[in-house]
Structure 1
Amino acid sequence: MEFGGLGFVPFFLALWCTVWLSASYTLTITYSHAPPLMFISEAGNYYPEKIPFKIGFIGMSIATLGLMFLQYKFIQLHAEAFGAHQPKIQKVLLALGWLSCGGIVILAVCETGFYPLTHRIAAFTAFIFGSIYNLWQAIILYKAPGCGRAICHIRTVSCVMALICVVICILSYKI
């Protein structure tokens, strides 16, 4: 959805995530703190890679909160174009999105070595609520005026990828 020329923000956020995750992962492998096939959360257990890991997660969460709020306000301002029920649905979706961002912050702060259960619960909360948020936004905004379908397709793909990650994570804990 274009917010008066702010369509670049989701792409910048995706680029930001890719850069800091790659930096954390590269530092972890370079210093031999974890095997090459690891959970990304293991990058946050060791110094110096825990610094970009935590800054990246918290920065992503804050930027995502702002983006979600901008989208909520945009839809509130243009409620007649989206339909009467949209602002109510957007309030629920905003709450789910913020729960997801809260899970991301807890995920960054609670390292797997010290708080494994809290870390797992935060990860599942972030993935599941984030997936629900993105899937419903993609469904609602698919044919909305001013909304690019490419963004809706990207949201749907990211939702499916997050759910696949949750399934893989659950299966790996059981194995």
Structure 2
Amino acid sequence: MVWFMEGICVLPVFLVIWSSSTFLISYIVALLRGDVDVIFPYISDTGTNPPESGIFGLMTTIGAFAGLATIFARYKYVEKICEATTRSRLNRIAFCFGITSCLGMCFIATFQETQNPLVHDIAALTVFLSGETYIILQSIISRRMYPYWSSRTVCLSQTFISAISVFASVTMIVCGVLVKSSKLHWKIHNEQYILHVVSAVSEWIVSFAFVFFFFTYIREFKKVTLKLKVSVHY
């Protein structure tokens, strides 16, 4: 059997590939059409104008549901092996933050930055803050599951990714607040150009950190199967 077909590994593998493709495809299309600059647009900027807005919206929504499925699978895995412990309660809290982040992604996909800036910005902030909290809590859970249900490599990887995303999130938010303009095209001589670039680069780092965090689930998911039970009541 191919490694990514073992257990439910296909969930995080699909999520990582699909989400990465969403960012890159919308960026390439927007760049070829001249809707964004090479260095460095916000991710949302690449999905503002049609046709890339349609591509970005559709792929982001599918990615949100893939994230939901992966988060749910991780939740059930931890719940099964950590019943009646503090890890189980922490797992439920993390699950709620994960669901909130996925819901925020659907709003980002639906409400474009230039058309509904308030809704879009609130949704983006929700995604980043909820997603950040989710991966931090999952890192703590993995550490508490070590050494019986989690490996040292997974714990270190999750801690490293969480640390990078926290630093990048703070940088992104601080610089983003200081940038007064929301225009799509920037020149190096523009005021606040450096702040814009730092904020945009930080957003890309945070987004890919979130995405590749799910790669750390692969080793665990090889041992997991989920079954749907159907009960009919007459």
Structure 2 residue 74 is the aligned partner of structure 1 residue 67: no
User: TM-score normalised to the size of structure 2?
Assistant: 0.65
Shift of 1:11: 3.1
| 1:58 corresponding residue in structure 2 | 61
| 1:137 corresponding residue in structure 2 | 138
| 2:178 corresponding residue in structure 1 | 174
Q: Which moved more, 1:148-157 or 1:119-128?
A: 148-157
Q: Distance in 2 between matches of 1:58 and 1:162?
A: 22
Amino acid at match of 1:76: E
Spell out the pairing of 1:1-175 with structure 2 (5 A cutoff).
5-36=7-38, 37-79=40-82, 84-142=85-143, 143=146, 145-163=148-166, 164-165=168-169, 167-175=171-179
Shift of 1:71: 1.4
Amino acid at match of 2:171: V
Amino acid at match of 1:89: L
Shift of 1:25: 0.1
Which structure features the higher share of helix residues?
A: 1
Amino acid at match of 2:82: A
Shift of 1:23: 0.5
User: TM-score normalised to the size of structure 1?
Assistant: 0.85
Counterpart secondary structure, 1:5:
coil
Instruction: Note closer, same or farther for the CA distance 1:90–1:114 as it changes in structure 2 (3 Å cut).
Output: same
Counterpart secondary structure, 1:89:
helix
Whichever of the two has the greater Rg, that structure is 2
Shift of 1:137: 0.4
Contact 2:90/2:137 (8 A) holds in 1: no
Structure 1 runs not aligned, ≥5 long = none
Instruction: Note closer, same or farther for the CA distance 1:20–1:34 as it changes in structure 2 (3 Å cut).
Output: same
Of all paired residues, the percent bearing the same amino acid is 24
Shift of 1:133: 0.6
Counterpart secondary structure, 2:150:
coil
| 2:198 corresponding residue in structure 1 | none
Q: Distance in 2 between matches of 1:96 and 1:122?
A: 13
Q: Distance in 2 between matches of 1:157 and 1:21?
A: 22
Structure 2 runs not aligned, ≥5 long = 1-5, 180-234
Q: Relative contact order (alpha carbons < 8 A, sep ≥ 6): 1 or 2 greater?
A: 2
